[in-house]
Amino acid sequence: MKNRALLLVNSQARKGEKRLPEAIRCLEELGLVLIQETTQKPQDLYEMILRYQQEVDLIIIGGGDGTLNAAVDALVETRLPLGILPLGTANDLARTLKIPNSIPEACKVIGKGEIARIDLGEVNGKHFFNVASLGLSVQITEKLTKEAKQRWGIFAYAIAAVKVIWESRPFSAEIRIDGQSIQVKTVQIAVGNGRYYGGGMAVVHDASIDDRRLDLYSLEIRHWWQIIPIIPTMRQGRHIHWSGVRSLSGEHIEVYTRKPRPINTDGEITTYTPAQFRVLPQSLSVFVPSETSDQ
């Protein structure tokens, strides 16, 4: 592995500033020559990666899923491999790739140089790693504050979800997939590329980030209380077997709603319906633990 790395850290990430010195020390001990940049605005990452692309061999990003999502378009454009330091609240992409939460161990994954090619999802031209969704998840994202994530960590998702669920109201949507048109009344549509999202929930029990497909579920319940028994099964992706949950998969999916509805990609609201989703197989190189790269 070549050893010139651009280290980008979101100082607003839950463990960003606190763990940065440890990450720098570990990476330098592994022989990496670092160019370091920190930002409080993840949207700056795109420009930073383009600025340094000719000077480095890889990009290391310290932050959570929102930080990674802010960088993904530039990673695709430059084709530089990605190393991940899970410094955020949920770290769902790291969980999908089995990257350890321990910073020294995550650094060792990068130092060993094992690389896997992973799929990306795309919605309306915006890339995503984990999930793009509309409905409840957008409302949860809007309720989540930086202060809540800093204070409560992953439990902030559950706190926000409780506040949102009892207010939930179904909306009408049309899903088009494989030549079919399906009319639904739903409180959430989620389209997954990876396995985990929302702090460790699984899109589908057998989803993986290199299976060349998108997995969709639509939560078609009438009353807020019907979601309560479903929630525990979402940790393993078994919610798709419940009555009121529709499950579909494919390479290309379209979703239409009566009025534009915001879409959350990896925890950030980035686009609106109507939505064109597609999978982009083996679009990105990522440093992974040996057992992940062997799969």
Residues β-bridged to residue 134: 189
CA-to-CA distance for 69 and 271, rounded, in angstroms? Answer: 13
Return the SS3 of 274.
coil
More confident of the two residues 259 and 89? 259
Q: What pLDDT, on a 0 to 100 scale, did the predictor assign at position 152?
A: 46
HSE-CB of 265 using CA atoms within 13 angstroms: 24
pLDDT band at 253, cuts 50/70/90? very high
Q: Using CA atoms, how far apart are residues 231 and 225, in angstroms rounded to an integer? A: 11
Segment 36-95, tens digit of pLDDT: 988 878 889 999 999 999 999 999 999 889 899 999 999 999 999 999 999 887 899 999
CA distance 293 to 278: 24
Q: Calculate ∠ Cα 234-235-241, nearest 5°.
A: 35
Q: Does residue 240 or residue 268 have the better pLDDT?
A: 268
CATH architecture assigned to 126-281: Sandwich (2.60)
Give residue limits of the domains in the chain. Answer: 4-112, 126-281
What pLDDT is stored for residue 14 in this prediction? 54
How many Cα atoms within 13 Å fall on the side-chain side of residue 255? 31
Phi, psi of 56, rounded to the nearest 5 degrees: -135, 165
Question: Residue 165 above 70 pLDDT?
Answer: no
Rg (CA), the chain: 19
Ramachandran angles phi, psi of 239, nearest 5°: -65, -20
Q: Tell me, what's the pLDDT at 38? A: 83
Task: Measure the CA–CA gap between 189 and 173, rounded to whole angstroms.
Answer: 9
Q: Count H helices, E strands: the chain?
A: 9, 18
- Residue 183 one-letter amino acid: Q
Please give the structure tokens belonging to residue 57.
């061999």
Query: Is the pLDDT assigned to residue 158 strictly greater than 80?
Result: no
Whether residue 119 contacts residue 280, with contact meaning beta carbons closer than 8 Å, is answered with: yes
CATH code of the domain occupying 4-112: 3.40.50.10330
Instruction: List all residues 6 or more positions away from 66 whose beta carbon is below 8 Å from its beta carbon.
Output: 42, 88, 266, 267, 268
Q: What residues are paired with 181 via a beta bridge?
A: 176
Whole-angstrom distance, CA of residue 9 vs CA of residue 20: 8
Given a cut of 80, is residue 292 above it in pLDDT?
Answer: no
Q: Would you state the structure tokens that stand for residue 42, as one six-digit string?
A: 């993840």
User: Which helix (H) or strand (E) is 156 found in, with range?
Assistant: helix 155-165
Q: How far is it, in rounded angstroms, from Cα 172 to Cα 258?
A: 7
Rounded to whole angstroms, the Cα distance separating 252 from 54 reads 34
pLDDT of residue 281: 97
216 pLDDT higher than 80: yes
What values do phi and psi take at 227, rounded to 5? -80, -20
Q: Which two structure tokens, joined as six digits, stand for 36?
A: 């370091």
Token pair 């440093």 in the structure block, residue: 287
In tens, the pLDDT along 175-207 reads 999 899 999 999 999 999 999 987 788 888 889
Q: What's the CA angle centered on 154, arms 240 and 228, to 5 degrees?
A: 40
Residue 285's SS3 state is strand
